[in-house]
């Protein structure tokens, strides 16, 4: 019967807890158990991969190392849940010192052919059984056995329970003496299984040859010496670099002093027509401008129509070419300048006064000419320049 369980959580980031755990006392068999819990992320990923494997299944087995350093693996078994439990049995608790139980996750077509996927090490320490307790090797029974005997026997069971209680107290005292602050390996234990004090040498100065750790303050002092000073103000004598914010502040002061406007943003932007691209600039003062050229292929059957209600306008022939959305919204209605031309033919251009948002889009333009369009020159090019404000004008004091 296991009295205590130590739970480990395993996943893609490793195993928790990573530190050495207290596995009890040498000779106390099946008193302590361990439980490996595979987290949801890793378990879900493994099951998803298993679904893609043809005839392959998920397996697990345990590699058990006792205090003498001997290893005995368990037989691979199918992984049917995200919990793998194991009680520290007599084979692994027979000797004191450091013990290790390794969970190995693998896949394969049967128990004999396995490919390892992940493994996780659970490290525990067993307190060596104290000498001089008056209990022989043959008489040294586990707390679990004595507890069971005490519930089902008479005076002899009572005496056995007293012996178990004394053994438990001795085990507790030895466990408290083994601190978690020490990382103890088998080579760090004496012949009786007691920890050997370890000396850690920490250097007080940097060295090109030493492999010891070095004091934090020594590293900090060395870094401080090589730190490059950065000036916050301009100087005619300093050779140090100057900070970005100092340069920006200087440019702003020069601009304000001499009332020089400058560009704060520029680039290109698409319109509602994916084949048309604006080029724009925004100035610190709030002025914004954008310009571009778009090509429109005219249609002779529309442009040259002469019947009533068609594209003939008095003595002029015309055709609408549409509007373009600005690359950003203007704060106030901007000014637009538009010209139109063909490769061989000249055009007039005019704007509609309705049906558009004057802050986000150009007017809807049409092109016209007093003579009909010839079929050998149908392409019309419109150049447009727009200027206005993208933010309110500031008042200078």
188, 211, 242 - which closes a domain: 188
Alpha-carbon gap, residue 264 to 271, rounded angstroms: 22
The pLDDT of residue 117 is above 60 = yes
Cα dihedral sign for 178, 181, 186, 187? negative
Looking at 168, 188, 208, the residue that finishes a domain is 188
- State what percent of residues in the chain have pLDDT above 70: 76
Identify the pLDDT of residue 135. 43
pLDDT in the model for residue 141: 42
Nearest alpha-carbon partner for 304 in 380, 247, 369 = 369
Residue 193 lies in a domain: no
What pLDDT, on the 0 to 100 scale, is given for residue 27? 84
Last residue of a domain, one of 260, 280, 302: 260
Whether 234 is covered by a domain: the verdict is yes
| pLDDT the model gives residue 38 | 95
Q: pTM for the full model?
A: 0.36
pLDDT score, position 42: 92
Q: Give me the phi and psi of 363, to 5 degrees please.
A: -70, 165
Instruction: Clarify whether residues 137 and 160 are in a common domain.
Output: yes
- For residues 146 and 16, state if they share a domain: yes
* Chain centroid to CA 77: 35
- With bands split at pLDDT 50, 70 and 90, how would you rate the model's confidence at 168? low
Determine whether 129 is exposed, middle or buried from the number of CB atoms within 10 Å of its CB (0-12, 13-18, 19+): buried
Residues 75 and 176 in one domain: yes
Residue-wise pLDDT for 72-116, tens only, equals 999 999 999 999 999 988 888 888 889 999 999 998 888 777 788
Give tens-digit pLDDT for 176-191: 544 333 344 444 556 6
pLDDT classification of 62: cutoffs 50, 70, 90: very high
Mutual orientation of helices 143-152 and 155-177 as an angle, nearest 10°? 150
Q: Quick one: 334 and 352 in the same domain?
A: yes
Question: Of all helices (H) and strands (E), which one includes residue 255?
Answer: helix 244-258
Do 181 and 283 fall within a single domain?
A: no
- Element at 276 (helix H, strand E): none
What's the per-residue H, E or C state across the chain?
CCCEEEEEEEECCEEECCCCEEEEECCCCCCEEEEEEECHHHHHHHHHHHHHCCCCEEEEEEEEECCCCCEEECCCEECCCCEEEEECCHHHHCCCEEEEEEEEEEEECCCCCCEEEEEEEEEEEEECCCCCCCCCCCCCCCHHHHHHHHHHCCHHHHHHHHHHHHHHHHHHHHHHHCCCCCCCCHHHECCCCCECCCCCCCECCCCCCCCCCECHHHHHHHHHHHCCCCECCCCCCCCCCECHHHHHHHHHHHHHHHCCCCEEEEEEEECCCCCCEEEEEEECCCEEEEEEEEEEECCHHHHCCCCCCCCEECCEEEEEEECCECCCCCCCCCEEEEEEEECCCECEEEECCCCCCCCCECCCEEEEECCCCCCCCCEEEEEEEEEEECCCCCCCC
Judge if 139 and 246 occupy the same domain.
no
What is the pLDDT, as a whole number, of residue 184?
41
Is 124 a member of any domain?
A: yes
Find the mean pLDDT for residues 219-232.
Answer: 80
Higher pLDDT, 165 or 366: 366
State residue 134's pLDDT score.
44
What is the structure's pLDDT at 41? 92
What digits encode the pLDDT tens for the residues 343-357? 877 888 888 766 567
What mean pLDDT value characterizes the chain? 78
Residue 253 lies in a domain: yes
Q: Is residue 396 part of a domain?
A: no
Asked whether residue 178 falls in the same domain as residue 234, the answer is no
Would 174 be classed as within a structural domain?
A: yes
Q: Average pLDDT, stretch 150-179?
A: 47
Instruction: Tell me which residue range forms the domain holding 148.
Output: 4-188
> Is the domain of 340 the same as that of 247?
no
User: Are 133 and 232 members of one domain?
Assistant: no
Structural domain tally of the chain?
Answer: 3
Q: What is the pLDDT of residues 10-25, one digit of tens each?
A: 999 999 999 999 988 8
Same domain for 269 and 249:
no
**Bigger pLDDT: 323 vs 103:** 103
295 and 245: one domain? no
Dist. CA 249–CA 255, nearest whole Å: 10
pLDDT given for residue 110 in this prediction: 80
Mean pLDDT of 246-269: 81
The answer to the question of residue 209 being in a domain is no
Closest CA to 203 of 212, 190, 193: 212
Neighbours of 8 (CB within 10 A): 20
Q: What is the mean pLDDT of residues 291-313?
A: 72
Quick one: 232 and 270 in the same domain?
no
Please report, rounded to a whole number, the percentage of residues in the chain having pLDDT higher than 90.
29
Quick one: pLDDT band at residue 301, thresholds 50, 70, 90?
A: confident
Q: Is the pLDDT of residue 4 over 70?
A: yes
- Domain assignment present for residue 205? The answer is no
Q: What is the pLDDT of residues 203-216, one digit of tens each?
A: 888 888 888 888 88
């Amino acid at each position: 019967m296991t009295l205590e369980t130590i739970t480990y959580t395993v996943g893609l980031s490793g195993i928790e807890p990573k530190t050495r755990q207290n596995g009890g006392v040498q000779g106390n068999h099946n008193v302590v158990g361990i439980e490996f819990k595979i987290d949801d992320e890793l378990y879900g990923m493994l099951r998803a991969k298993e679904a893609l494997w043809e005839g392959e299944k998920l397996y697990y087995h345990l590699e058990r190392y006792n205090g003498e350093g001997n290893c005995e693996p368990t037989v691979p078994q199918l992984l049917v849940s995200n919990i793998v439990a194991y009680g520290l049995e007599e084979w692994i608790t027979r000797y004191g010192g450091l013990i290790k139980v390794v969970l190995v996750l693998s896949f394969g077509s049967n128990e004999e052919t396995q490919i390892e996927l992940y493994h996780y090490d659970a490290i525990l320490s067993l307190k060596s059984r104290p000498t001089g307790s008056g209990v022989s090797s043959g008489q040294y029974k586990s707390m679990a056995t004595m507890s069971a005997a005490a519930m089902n026997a008479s005076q002899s069971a009572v005496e056995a329970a007293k012996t178990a209680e004394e053994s438990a107290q001795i085990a507790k005292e030895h466990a408290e003496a083994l601190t978690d602050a020490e990382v103890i390996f088998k080579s760090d234990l004496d012949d009786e299984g007691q920890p050997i004090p370890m000396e850690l040498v920490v250097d007080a100065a940097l060295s090109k040859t030493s492999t010891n750790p070095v004091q934090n303050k020594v590293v900090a002092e060395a870094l401080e010496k090589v730190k490059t000073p950065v000036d916050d103000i301009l100087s005619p004598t300093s050779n140090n670099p100057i900070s970005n914010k100092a340069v920006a502040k200087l440019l702003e002061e020069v601009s304000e002093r001499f009332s020089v406007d400058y560009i704060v943003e520029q680039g290109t932007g698409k319109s509602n027509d994916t084949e048309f691209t604006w080029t724009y600039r925004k100035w610190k003062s709030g002025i914004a401008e954008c310009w571009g050229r778009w090509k429109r292929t005219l249609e002779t059957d529309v442009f040259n129509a002469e019947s009533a209600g068609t594209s003939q306008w008095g003595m002029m022939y015309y055709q609408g070419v549409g509007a373009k959305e600005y690359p950003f919204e203007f704060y106030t209605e901007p000014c637009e300048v538009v010209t139109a031309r063909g490769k061989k033919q000249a055009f007039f251009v005019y704007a509609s006064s309705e049906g558009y948002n004057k802050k986000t889009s150009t007017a809807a333009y049409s092109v016209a000419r007093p003579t009909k369009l010839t079929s050998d020159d149908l392409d019309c090019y419109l150049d447009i320049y727009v200027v206005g404000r993208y933010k309110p004008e500031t008042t200078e004091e």
